[in-house]
A and B are shown apart, each in its own frame.
Chain A
């Protein structure tokens, strides 16, 4: 079947700006709101190049009826997460905020004895009932693609691309076997990373990691940015040295509830100070919750020791952010 390049070019010239604007609307929306699930995946977007559009249509036309309007990835958004469990959260997120036209859970399409590319692909449009999209109803008919994958799936995808490998490639068995061995390692790596992460979260002998794991999602949720892990591990080690065993246990047991109880206040503090995070670096680190919890429950354990390890002005600033409750 022949391809009408002129027609495609004109159509894309007409649509390109709309998709670019849609990308600039949807990308920050996802980046800002996905943190409500206490995750901070890498997110990127691109609009397709004209040349790539034409090549794709040509390629697809070889096997089926395909046209410019069939192309749903004129705008593509990619979400790359660290752990495979996060793909389920992102699935909930996408269903909550977008209208799904078509979804492919590639993993579910594979037989138990088959290996392959296993990310999730969604063809979606914006949901006009969402506040941030209400005034952009002109884009509601535009369909775009969201790809969700783990870091390992992404690594495989990139490697496969570099090797020009496709599942239906006609390669010698010996080479195919090597590729399948490699692919299985990526899948195992995802499983193992998740397992190790979950074990460490619950490991009573690894207090610092357990606390950090409990709190890192909270920083994603409220600060909406990543934090410095070395700084956190060091600070949590020092702070936990200030606490008695009883206090350490109560922190582990009660901090979730403390954050939930104070979530409106915490959200307000982060929102108010977003423009001056650079002046208050502690506010962007998970240990901020430990300090607030400590000040609320056993303030002297912090007050009496802080000066040995940190700047007293920072504690004053942290106390100022938290304020004082007067009954």
Chain B
């Protein structure tokens, strides 16, 4: 039976920090600054970093990933090696993660702090990678005696907002959880320049992962289930509004879709939102975000049709309906549609 991942159960056992300086592509005159030992964790620090991890997993931007067999990223075997060692190899293996990150970064990548965590989630092993980006002025000091960075300093930088978690990934051993995915990723900094691409630099190149669910299929399910939910409502005018909202939401210029975001932005009442969430739950459909691929539904989302009992239909294309057709409920249960435009052609 698939074991559930309950982020509230995360226990941080080991944590190590590496510093990745900004550098030009191919410039290897500088190197990552590695910690040579794990950071000491007080209870307060343990909770602080746990909170940060949970917050990133709670984010609407989190989604499931699996390792891509075709990727050249070494992360999959490094993470598995950390699992295999029960966390005891975290120093050496986390340095390999830092080295890999350094090697694939180019001049446009900001300097960063890499925090690698080994611990438990739902009583099983987990490995968590946090990529933090720091402001120019925010510096970490390498302790010359221990040759390591102090995690307290990372916390202080985060508290002063000089450093933020921009990306995180939580990995689990599939066999322990009996899942078909390897982890969960949250990327607060999806590259808006690559709007058409489903994958991100962090997920694809660095981690060597792909989304667990095929975005084409997930997008199609999202569309179908949301439409089915809307059709359960009684008010025809509301249905018309929500279907148009769905079409325009899916066509927005974003890489991911999220039922929660759709509910927040378009559904009018808390009841509709709660009912929608529960409806998707009954369909076992995620309520958080997933990568978007509209190729299976492109034809459907660009056209909106309202058909009346009297045989009249009104067709709107590419979001034009809402702007040009006013729909109203009439007291006798009928509906009125008002179109204001100039007749273009008559067939």
Q: Complex Cα distance A105/B51, Å?
A: 50
- The 8 Å CB contact of B271, one of A244, A299, A303, A320, is A244
Interface size on B, residues (CB 8 A): 27
Q: Complex Cα distance A144/B254, Å?
A: 71
What's the nearest-Cβ distance from chain A to residue B186, in Å? 11
Known contacts A276-B47, A316-B55; A321 and B7 CB within 8 A of each other: no
Are B58 and A304 closer than 8 Å at their CB atoms?
Answer: no
B9 proximal to A (CB < 8 A): yes
- The 8 Å CB contact of B9, one of A265, A273, A300, is A265
Are A321 and B4 closer than 8 Å at their CB atoms?
Answer: no
- The 8 Å CB contact of A305, one of B184, B270, B277, is B270
A275 proximal to B (CB < 8 A): yes
Interface string of A293-317 (1 = CB under 8 A from B): 0000111110111000000000010
Are A300 and B263 closer than 8 Å at their CB atoms?
Answer: yes
Interface size on A, residues (CB 8 A): 28
B235 proximal to A (CB < 8 A): no
Interface string of B7-37 (1 = CB under 8 A from A): 1111000000000000000000000000000
Are A301 and B2 closer than 8 Å at their CB atoms?
Answer: no
Are B58 and A299 closer than 8 Å at their CB atoms?
Answer: no
Q: Complex Cα distance A316/B10, Å?
A: 17
What's the nearest-Cβ distance from chain A to residue B74, in Å? 25
A91 proximal to B (CB < 8 A): no
Within 8 A of B (CB), among A33-71: none
Are A326 and B55 closer than 8 Å at their CB atoms?
Answer: no
**Please, which residues of chain A bring their CB within 8 A of the CB of B241?**
none
Are A300 and B273 closer than 8 Å at their CB atoms?
Answer: yes
In the complex formed, the residue of B with least CB distance to A321 is B8
B5 proximal to A (CB < 8 A): yes
Q: Complex Cα distance A326/B126, Å?
A: 14
What's the nearest-Cβ distance from chain B to residue A198, in Å? 33
A269 proximal to B (CB < 8 A): yes
Q: Complex Cα distance A67/B220, Å?
A: 87
**Please, which residues of chain A bring their CB within 8 A of the CB of B277?**
299-300
A24 proximal to B (CB < 8 A): no
Q: Which residue among A269, A298, A301, A320 has the maximum number of chain B CB atoms within 10 Å of its CB? A: A320
Q: Complex Cα distance A316/B60, Å?
A: 13
- The 8 Å CB contact of A324, one of B7, B47, B271, is B7
Are A301 and B270 closer than 8 Å at their CB atoms?
Answer: yes
| Chain A binding surface, main DSSP class | helix
**Please, which residues of chain B bring their CB within 8 A of the CB of A244?**
271
Are B58 and A323 closer than 8 Å at their CB atoms?
Answer: yes
What's the nearest-Cβ distance from chain B to residue A302, in Å? 9
**Please, which residues of chain B bring their CB within 8 A of the CB of A136?**
none
B57 proximal to A (CB < 8 A): yes
Are B58 and A320 closer than 8 Å at their CB atoms?
Answer: yes
**Please, which residues of chain B bring their CB within 8 A of the CB of A316?**
55
Are A304 and B270 closer than 8 Å at their CB atoms?
Answer: yes
Interface string of A248-278 (1 = CB under 8 A from B): 0000000000000000010011001101100
Within 8 A of A (CB), among B42-99: 43-44, 47, 51, 54-55, 57-58, 62, 64
Q: Which residue among A247, A297, A303, A321 has the maximum number of chain B CB atoms within 10 Å of its CB? A: A303
Are A320 and B273 closer than 8 Å at their CB atoms?
Answer: no
A325 proximal to B (CB < 8 A): yes
Known contacts A268-B8, A300-B263; A323 and B270 CB within 8 A of each other: no
A/B pair count, beta carbons within 8 Å = 69
- The 8 Å CB contact of A298, one of B9, B51, B274, is B274
Known contacts A273-B47, A300-B263; A323 and B6 CB within 8 A of each other: yes
- The 8 Å CB contact of A265, one of B6, B51, B273, B274, is B6
**Please, which residues of chain B bring their CB within 8 A of the CB of A322?**
8
Within 8 A of B (CB), among A102-155: none
What's the nearest-Cβ distance from chain B to residue A194, in Å? 37
**Please, which residues of chain A bring their CB within 8 A of the CB of B64?**
326
Q: Complex Cα distance A320/B51, Å?
A: 6
Are B5 and A325 closer than 8 Å at their CB atoms?
Answer: yes
**Please, which residues of chain B bring their CB within 8 A of the CB of A303?**
264, 270
Are A326 and B263 closer than 8 Å at their CB atoms?
Answer: no
Are B273 and A319 closer than 8 Å at their CB atoms?
Answer: no
A327 proximal to B (CB < 8 A): yes
Are B2 and A325 closer than 8 Å at their CB atoms?
Answer: no
In the complex formed, the residue of B with least CB distance to A322 is B8
Q: Complex Cα distance A269/B11, Å?
A: 12
What's the nearest-Cβ distance from chain A to residue B157, in Å? 20
Are B270 and A300 closer than 8 Å at their CB atoms?
Answer: yes
**Please, which residues of chain B bring their CB within 8 A of the CB of A268?**
8-9
Are A326 and B274 closer than 8 Å at their CB atoms?
Answer: no
In the complex formed, the residue of B with least CB distance to A264 is B9
**Please, which residues of chain A bring their CB within 8 A of the CB of B5?**
325-326
**Please, which residues of chain A bring their CB within 8 A of the CB of B47?**
272-273, 276
**Please, which residues of chain B bring their CB within 8 A of the CB of A269?**
8
Are B184 and A326 closer than 8 Å at their CB atoms?
Answer: yes
What's the nearest-Cβ distance from chain A to residue B55, in Å? 5
**Please, which residues of chain B bring their CB within 8 A of the CB of A305?**
270
Within 8 A of B (CB), among A217-268: 242, 244, 247, 265, 268
Q: Complex Cα distance A321/B44, Å?
A: 14
Are A326 and B4 closer than 8 Å at their CB atoms?
Answer: yes
What's the nearest-Cβ distance from chain A to residue B271, in Å? 6
In the complex formed, the residue of B with least CB distance to A242 is B270
Closest 10 CB pairs of A and B: A323-B8, A300-B273, A323-B7, A298-B274, A326-B5, A300-B270, A304-B270, A301-B270, A324-B7, A325-B6
Known A276-B44, A323-B7, A326-B6; further 12 A-B contacts with Cβ < 8 A: A268-B8, A272-B47, A300-B273, A301-B270, A304-B273, A305-B270, A320-B55, A320-B58, A323-B6, A323-B57, A324-B57, A327-B284
Can you pick out 18 interface pairs between chain A and chain B where the beta carbons lie within 8 Å of each other?
A: A268-B9, A273-B47, A275-B43, A298-B274, A299-B277, A300-B263, A300-B273, A300-B277, A316-B55, A319-B58, A320-B51, A321-B8, A323-B8, A324-B6, A324-B62, A326-B6, A327-B2, A327-B284
- Give A residues with C-beta under 8 Å from B: 242, 244, 247, 265, 268-269, 272-273, 275-276, 297-301, 303-305, 316, 319-327
